[in-house]
Structure 1
Amino acid sequence: MSENILSLALRISRIRFWIYTGGTYVVGFALGMGSWEAFLRPEYMIYLFYFFIPANIFIYGVNDYFDQETDKNNPKKDAQEYRLEKKDEKGLFSLLAVVTGISLILLATQADLTAQLIFASFLFLSFFYSAPPLRFKEIPGIDFASNMLYIMPGIFGYYLASGFLPPWFLILAGFFHIAAMHLFSAIPDIGYDTKAGLRTTAVTLGERPSLILCLLFWTGLSMIVIPASGIHPAAFLVLIYPAVPLLLLLKRDHDIEKVYWYLPAINTTLGGLIFIAATLHTFG
């Protein structure tokens, strides 16, 4: 039984996406810390584990439960992701009960009100992105804006390390990135979402306008990152992001779904570079 629950937890949590919460937390913490020794703090380790595994079980467990109807005709659930089955529901409820309990304990044991608000915002957005009555994913414009849930671990990590909120331009850069990522990921699903009656931003705008909006968001990201780095040569790698929708707009014959699945590797690589740079800076 325990092996089945563990297997379900790994499938539900989408291992390839762990980096989107765990990695964001690590990068935020590294940018906020004053010394690499901060990595040895017990609270860093606790939230490192939380944002890599329980947080993803919470996000995608809620998502899979409430998306069963809209997911039934989407083939990516059989290939790149996991399709929840009726026999999994009992195990899913058990997993969600455990991670919800862990989440509430962490929330309650935070002595700092600002940290509590950041953490609570993460839980609120993670739950109501998929769950009714709010179900943000079905509201054009709000769907990609609510994807801010993936930036909240970074804001939390930065605050945990420094005692201060990140600079506004870093938060804005994060928003531009997650907005583009969400919209870009929704484009391959336009046909399936339309059939399921799901009205996303991508469904509302269509493919090319959605790609143009992705281009604008990622261009905004680049315009923040490059100057913020002091025009460091490595920062120009961020231009990979706006280059992706630009090339797709110029090339009529393309497979956007195939391109999308390269983005986790790009995010991991560039996030790793930011982490290394931030950590090395503390030795200076």
Structure 2
Amino acid sequence: MHSPTRRTAVGIIGGTGVYDPRWLEGAREETVTTPFGAVTLTAGRMGEQVVYFLNRHGPGHAVPPHRVNYRANLWALRAAGVTRVIATAAVGAVNRAMTPGSLVLCDSFLDFTHGRVPTFFEGQAADPALPDRFRQVVHTDMTEPYCPDLRARLAAAGRSTGAPVVEAGTYVATEGPRFESRAEIAAFARLGGDVVGMTGVPEVVLARELGMCYATVALVTNYAAGISPAPLTHAEVLEVMARHQERLRAVLGQVLPEAGLERRCACATTDPGWEEDPA
């Protein structure tokens, strides 16, 4: 007898301007309790694939980037059975070649955040509610923080749909919620940064600590400070995101139905025993 192909759930983290999960079939809300607080997810399907959608900034974009509960969000997705995450992000271009409207598939990052808890592994100072395996010191490899298999699937979908996909780029993570100064952007460019945003770290790190595949689709909404000819505004970011929603959905619509099939990457090697004991 033919056995059905095993699938695991896929997660979508919606960033600025990506708030509406109604494109999922049978969408319904679920609340997941985590050691870091409760998280509301929207569960649904694309074909046979179970998909969980998480609104990173909460209803009405009420949570600024430096106050996002990143640990609760990633924990909730993993507790729901998600093993692969595609995150969307609105970014500014540091690299002038990455024009507004481009979809950048990040392959590395520079972290300039501060004040955020960047790990689940806090040693003996960890929250007592965490399983013992998280009460140790773990140094997670970040040579390839973004899943190469997911990135390849997203790149192929971009080519298929005609979307202007840039297949590699370095994401510069800043603390926010302010935009960056001209001097900061000039420094980021010299360091090899391509796009700048406020939410990519520690999200990508936490996903890897839980053995999850993680990829970012960064939509360039504007040129960064000192490159843009005009002052930056949040309204401009939302306007550009709205114009390119269908392009982004077309790419995701090709990838999501098959994204939960067998993983062909090493991302799961950091999974701290989650499969055996998710509590």
| TM-score under structure 2 length normalisation | 0.30
Of structures 1 and 2, the one scoring higher in RCO (CA 8 A, sep 6+) is 2
Q: Comparing both structures, which one devotes a greater share of its residues to helix?
A: 1
> Which has the higher Rg, Structure 1 or Structure 2?
1
